[in-house]
Amino acid sequence: MKEIITDFIESFKIFYAEKINTSKAKLKKNSLVSFAYLNKEIDFNKIFENIGLFSPSFIFEKPDEDFKILAFDTIYSFNDEIKNDAIKISSFINELRENTIENWGKELSKNIPLFVGGMKFLKDNNSELWKDFNESNWFIPKYLFIKKGNFSGLIFNTFYNSLKNIDKEIIIIQNDLNNLFKETEVFLSNNSIFENKISSNGKVEKQVWINKVENILNLIRKKEIDKVVLSRKISLKLNNKPNWNDIHKKLTTNFPTCHFFIFHKNDSFFFGSTPERLAKFSNGMVEIDALAGSAPRGINDKEDKFFEDKLLNSQKDINEHNFVIDHIIHSIENTTENIEIQNKYEIKKLNNIQHLHSRISAKLKCGFTPFDLLMKLYPTPAICGVSREKAFSIINEYEDYERGMYSGVVGWFNFYNEGEFTVALRSAVTDGKELTAFAGSGIVASSNPNTEFEETEIKLKAILNLFDEKN
């Protein structure tokens, strides 16, 4: 790895001399400098071990598409005031783009994430569980390792102001990269439960859930609401700090079609493997997943097919899925054109559960940005309910905790209306001592409280099994 660091430093010096030193007269102190370094020999696994070295740091990976980004440290973060204002976001991005000097090239520029991170489901009251995360957590990383398509390498970002003492900055870069490439001690088995569930009391917890669902069903019968997504959490005490390499290996192996992520800020690590892509923007097109309606996996092919057929013929699950499709189309019809529903009601099979899945594609209208669409699309009925405002009210009343980043958004975007955003499901947050995992279920008119509870149990196991020595 020393050879890679040396080569990167020498390449950056050449970039500085040829593109920055000769452009000083037109550069502003807040001009963005972004240097792309191509090297297919970078060991992503070794870098991964150092997820906790910088705050913030962010990992985002789609195993079946051979795409991954590892982002460390920050040079700029959006503040919370800009989070829900697409006009302010667009204005800032346009101004930054006009004041950027880079070596990306035309083709590479579309493939490079610039902003990474995410945002919370709802504004919370600064709960202790989510104290390290703001409402909006989008940032430009200083170091971004990426494997995407034919590109594999490192993106270094900074502002021109920090390069006025170039020799000092190069020493800092070299020290940072030495630390990122440094071998770390990895414990082979430390993802074990120290004590039993500390926020769970078996039958009592289940009965509380059933009572809540029955109350929601009464509201549905009264026509006060059509659907509510109710969630629950389970907390554990851990023996040791999580073994992130082990967690990464298990989740990406067990759920290769899902998006794996870790978002580290201060003492907190929010992580998971989510099956729901909220929206992917590429070449002027957008793809949106509708994922709602669930069934367990079978112990053999015959039983698995039985559950699949039952799901496909379940009016309850079809209705729940249609709520999501209708919401998506209604949300994007003013910002897109040529809307199509692809693979309607196909079955998406995960390691521990199967879902009804449809994909909506459309072309982004001229003059609109991904954030124009996202602000209308999110949150979807798959994570809150119908109608949205009433569902928010019920969620606030019935859930005795803040969701924070759970069911929020994680992903990336860049200057050129390219990006990918997912809903942060099948996830947990930990400070290394305690871990809290989350799962939800969509409650509609034909829901059975016991069945919905079992669905959350299945979803929770995706995370909890990582911390059980028997698995």
Q: Structural domain boundaries of the chain?
A: 2-180, 202-243+279-467
**Intrachain domains 2-180 and 202-243+279-467 with the same fold:** yes
Tokens linked to 403: 């969701």
> For helices 388-398 and 202-221, what crossing angle results, to 10°?
150
β-sheet bridge partners, residue 287? 280, 361
How confident is the chain (471 residues) per 10-residue block, as mean pLDDT? Answer: 91 92 78 93 87 95 94 87 68 86 81 91 81 92 91 93 91 95 60 50 83 96 95 89 90 94 97 94 93 91 94 91 91 94 92 92 91 88 90 93 95 92 96 93 92 93 80 49
Q: DSSP E strands: which ranges in 45-196?
A: 57-62, 67-77, 100-102, 115-119, 139-148, 151-159
Contact 206, 372 (CB under 8 A): no
pLDDT reported for residue 81: 58
β-sheet bridge partners, residue 354? 295, 349
Q: Give me the DSSP letters along 11-76.
A: HHHHHIIIIIGGGGGG--TT-EEEEEEE-TT--HHHHHTTTTSSSSEEEEEEGGGTEEEEEEEEEE
Contact 7, 39 (CB under 8 A): yes
Burial readout 61-76 (b: 16 or more C-beta within 10 A, e: otherwise): bbbeeebbbbbbbbbb
Tokens linked to 175: 């020290």
pLDDT reported for residue 34: 95
> How many angstroms separate the CA atoms of 382 and 422, rounded?
12
pLDDT reported for residue 80: 61
**202-243+279-467 placed in CATH 3.60.120.10:** yes
pLDDT reported for residue 25: 65
pLDDT reported for residue 185: 56
CATH number, domain 2-180:
3.60.120.10
Q: DSSP E strands: which ranges in 166-316?
A: 227-237, 259-265, 268-274, 277-282, 285-296
pLDDT reported for residue 45: 85
pLDDT reported for residue 195: 47
